[in-house]
Structure 1
Amino acid sequence: MDKDKEERLEKLLKEWEKSGEKLGHFPSSEKLTVLDLRLLLENPSPLRELIRQIVAAEMGANSTAQSSEAGIELATSATYTEDIQALQDADQALEEHRDKPTQARTELAQARINLKQTQTELEQLKQAAQQTQVDLKTCSAQVEKLLKNEDRYKQDIKAREEELQQLQAELAAAQTDSSAEPALVFLRSDPQLAQIMGLADLPADNTQALIQTVAVLAQIDNLKRLWEALKDRCEAGKRTVTDNECALLQAALDWHNHNWHRLPYRLIDVATASRFDYETQSRSRHVTKGETVAAMQLPGIADGNGKVLCKALVQTK
């Protein structure tokens, strides 16, 4: 029994003692409740003793009436007992379930806290996943770039290897029969042009002479200088470049293109009767007018991107 019930029972007992022995009279200013009655019946009290005495007196008065009244009293007592038991059960159930709403609310609050924490962790994981995707995309781009660079390097290495093989083949062919090289033969036969190009003192050995010639004429500056020398000859003689001169210019261009395998330099040829193009052609100084090409005296030179380095020398009409 808790403290409140003990205090209430004590108060009821004091009120009972004040009532004396007047049956049915309870002097308290407060009305008896069902809970008060329950306290008096469940615990040792004058009320329980009074009920016991009444039952005993009635049983001694008359056997027939005693039996009848006893039956009624027992039935009543049984009913009271059942009611009291029901009240006790209800009170116990109430006590058991009294804390359940509070516990449920506590569990619900904890569940909400756990849910919020889970949502926070999920958001963090989502952000981490997004950052990982960004990092992965960056890494993929870098890997792709490296792979492209690797492919380019491999292609360059392959081109260099092919170029080396070609040079070795040309060198072997030159060593086998260097006297058959037309450019070298022409330079030996034209000492004036050889002097202009710095090739006047070629070695007697044809292989060494060819190596020196290739080393000089393969350079772009010397290639332009050769073209300028041939142009001066054409202008001075009012003539077209000779076959040997044109072959030497083509050979020098081919040697230079060993360094520009992917974007080779080329000669600019001009067809007769075509329209004069100021961007790629230059009139001979002996001609001052005309918009139609009458003859090409010297082909021009363009680099691998199509940029004109030396305009073709033409006559117009």
Structure 2
Amino acid sequence: MTSFVELQQRFITTEFGALGIVASHAQVLQPASALPTDDATLWSLFNTIPSDSTLFSPDGDETFFAAYSALIDSLIPGSGLLDPIAVAKRKLEEWGHADPAWSVGYAGLISQLNLAPSNEFPFSNPGGPASPFWGLWGGSAPASGQSVAFAAGDVSGQFAFANVLPFAPTPSDWYVSSALSLAYAKHSGKPWNPDSPITWDSTFGPSGNMQRFVTSLYVVAGLSAQYVSSTKFSKADQQAIQENAADGMWPYYLGPGAAGATTKIQFDAQGKMKVGLTTGSGQPVVIAALVLPAAQYLGG
């Protein structure tokens, strides 16, 4: 019998394969994130220091900008005007106290997304362990009764996106990539300051605060999901599912109004469930993030 965790893992593998996402470096957003129209929310996703998890979430309260700024401030610059550390220090000083920005904002994202190709894929799962995943609806446990029953049946459906965009802006003028790469390449000695508590290990080591980096977000628009389950739900289970549907249904958990999302749930005379989910045309939803370890991101 398939557990809900196994069902979710199979769906993610199928979806990532269809979208060309490298699964070993991708993290799922749970729920999928319907973006508001401001730049700050979008950029905050890139300003995250990801945890080592299947799900995309910040690793503590520190941001990429804060960690990068503290690191550059602690390093010893070379004597040349074009020394990467010296350039990075000047760039940060010029940036001042403004919030961090990236090269492309919300308007640019929408322009790119509208030109991005469509994608669709079928999914079927013929009919656990501790897991970070939710169950059948948002916030529910994968081992809850309705979730277990859903996963135990044959689940099949069709999933489509009108537009799919790997969105990868670069940090704005406050960031100097060569300075961070130089710091990563030198485990000791200059540019590291022997009198600073910020070291290579405290930055890039196993307990460091910059072990992973967000390189891109997978943004979709015009999402359409239709799936059925062969499980015969009791009247009580049907009522529980309908009552909790407002928390968003598997697999994207988009509640009412998020990106213009609508969810329709129907049960036939035998109690078999059919779910339909759509989002508004042109309204961006982030479904995954591509996260690279420091060794790959910084070219080590």
TM bucket, shorter chain:
under 0.3
Which one scores higher on RCO, CA 8 angstroms, separation ≥ 6? 2
Superposition TM-score, scaled by structure 1 size: 0.19
Higher Cα radius of gyration: 1
Identify, as 1 or 2, the structure richer in strand.
Answer: 2
Identify, as 1 or 2, the structure richer in helix.
Answer: 1
